[in-house]
Amino acid sequence: MKIECKTKFLRSAFDVVSSVVPSKTPKPVVQNVKLQADKTGVTLLGTDTEIAIRQGVIEAIVTTPGEVLLPKDRLSAILREIDADTVTLELKDSQDAKKTKLVIKSGRGNWDLPTQDTAEFPECADFIAKDYWSAPSEIIRRRIKLAVLAISQRQEKNPAMSGVCLNIMDTNAEFAGTDTRRLHISEFKVEKTGKPEIPIVTIEGKTGPMSVIMSAKLVGLVERCLPDESPVDIAFDQNSIFFRSVNTVIAGRLSEGRYPKYRAKVREVEPIGVDIPMNSFHQTVRRSMTIISDESQSVLFHFEKGKLSLHAQSSGGEFNEELPLAYEGETVSIRLIPSFISDFIRSIDSALVLRCEMENAEVHMMLSDSSGNKCIIMPVVIEESKPDPKKEK
């Protein structure tokens, strides 16, 4: 095998694939990146056995086809220090006739590295579907980022609660994330090629469309590794989801279990609410956060005709502020965690109109914008302390 690459393109592709390579694993072979060179070009492959990435190297010249395993940490260090425009990688026989070595040449630098058997490296699935959905990369990345904010950071008994759910209904799609205290839904449009369908599965005797639940690591890699400006194709099989964009393919095993029926929460909300000036509202919420503490993390939101009042109190002090609003509904007070509101607003376009809807103080509040992003926040219930009968006696 012998190839020549532009250093910047090889470095960029290697960084993408390296992001999935584990630093610790009971299977040491996956701490390498596999390089495949053939008449179609050069492809790098990496996996942690649950997620795999295939990344093409732009403008690579293949003199002799072949494949080799590249030690991730060693190659990363070498590529960081190369300052020449091009780099050559070639497999040669070593002094031990049964083994080969990888010779790397760039500028004045020369490296000879031992190699491992490529047959031990796991298969990395490719995108082979003829029926799939597509959406712009920028949309996919922003929608994922919003959903991830709401997922549980704890080790949950139900793995689904630590992941992001993807629902596709014809040409409408949405990512959803929840930790039961808040729910983020981010809607977007998709185009269809062929007749793609969500696989039908049977779980615990119940048959229906498969719950497409992706781990936080998988969606994080998709959000970071997909190129900025290009369409992204999406396909499924019974166990995995596949993303394809230009030179990148990401395949990941889906999390088991069923996702909560979160759409019921959206339907519960009555259309009683108000449009809120996003920037001034966000500033007021952030000011309320300056007074809250670990023992008192919530803020009281009081809606009445013509205004919204925020009240926060803790051992560190008290905060009050009124915000003029064109609110004409019934008087409602609801206690919420303000950081949930701030997280949502920071992740959407501040130029859009923010809509606030609620049913009553015991149900929840929903914030939404005109581009299909929704945040449902459950109220904080403070239990009143009851007198101790023994002390009264």
Same domain, 349 and 257: no
Same domain, 139 and 252: yes
Tell me the H-state helices in the chain: 7-18, 72-81, 137-148, 216-225, 263-268, 278-288, 338-346, 389-392
Report if residue 81 sits inside a domain: yes
Same domain, 47 and 88: yes
**pLDDT 10s digit of each residue in the chain, 393 long?**
999 999 999 999 999 999 999 999 999 999 999 999 999 999 999 999 999 999 999 999 999 999 999 999 999 999 999 999 999 999 998 777 678 999 999 999 999 999 999 999 999 999 999 999 999 999 999 999 999 999 977 655 676 778 999 999 889 999 999 988 999 999 999 999 999 988 776 666 666 677 789 999 999 999 999 887 789 999 998 889 999 998 999 999 998 777 888 877 665 555 578 999 999 999 999 999 999 987 778 999 999 999 999 999 988 899 999 999 999 888 889 999 999 999 999 999 888 889 998 866 566 889 999 899 999 999 987 654 445 555 554
Same domain, 71 and 138: no
> pLDDT of 18-72, one tens digit each?
999 999 999 999 999 999 999 999 999 999 999 999 999 999 999 999 999 999 9
Query: Phi and psi at residue 288, in whole multiples of 5°?
Result: -65, -30
CATH number of the domain where residue 198 is located: 3.10.150.10
Report if residue 125 sits inside a domain: no
**In the prediction, which pLDDT does 385 show?**
44
The DSSP string of 246-305 is: TTEEEEEEPPPS----THHHHHHS-S-EEEE-HHHHHHHHHHHTTT-BTTB--EEEEEET
Same domain, 76 and 115: yes
Q: Which of 97, 120, 143 is the last residue of a domain?
A: 120
Contact 230, 247 (CB under 8 A): no
Euclidean distance between the first and final Cα of the chain, in Å? 89
Report if residue 276 sits inside a domain: yes
Same domain, 258 and 273: no
Task: Provide the domain count of the chain.
Answer: 3
Report if residue 390 sits inside a domain: no
Same domain, 6 and 110: yes
Report if residue 383 sits inside a domain: no
Report if residue 385 sits inside a domain: no
Task: Of 339, 342, 335, 276, give the one whose Cα is nearest residue 301.
Answer: 335
Same domain, 136 and 248: yes
Q: Give me the residue label for tokens 């503490």.
A: 293
Same domain, 54 and 158: no
**In the prediction, which pLDDT does 367 show?**
93
Q: Domain range spanning residue 50?
A: 2-120
Report if residue 126 sits inside a domain: no
**pTM as predicted:** 0.88
The DSSP string of 134-173 is: EEEHHHHHHHHHHHHTTS--S--SSGGGGEEEEEEETTEE
Q: Which of 210, 227, 262 is the last residue of a domain?
A: 262
**In the prediction, which pLDDT does 357 show?**
87
Same domain, 248 and 140: yes
Question: 82: Cβ–Cβ under 8 A, 6 or more apart, which residues?
Answer: 7, 11, 106, 107, 109
Q: Determine the Cα–Cα distance for residues 338 and 284; give it in Å rounded to an integer.
A: 10
Same domain, 286 and 174: no
**In the prediction, which pLDDT does 36 show?**
97
Report if residue 143 sits inside a domain: yes
Contact 56, 4 (CB under 8 A): no
Q: What burial class does residue 373 get, using C-beta atoms within 10 Å of its C-beta: 0-12 exposed, 13-18 middle, 19+ buried?
A: buried
Q: Which of 262, 282, 297 is the last residue of a domain?
A: 262
Same domain, 91 and 208: no
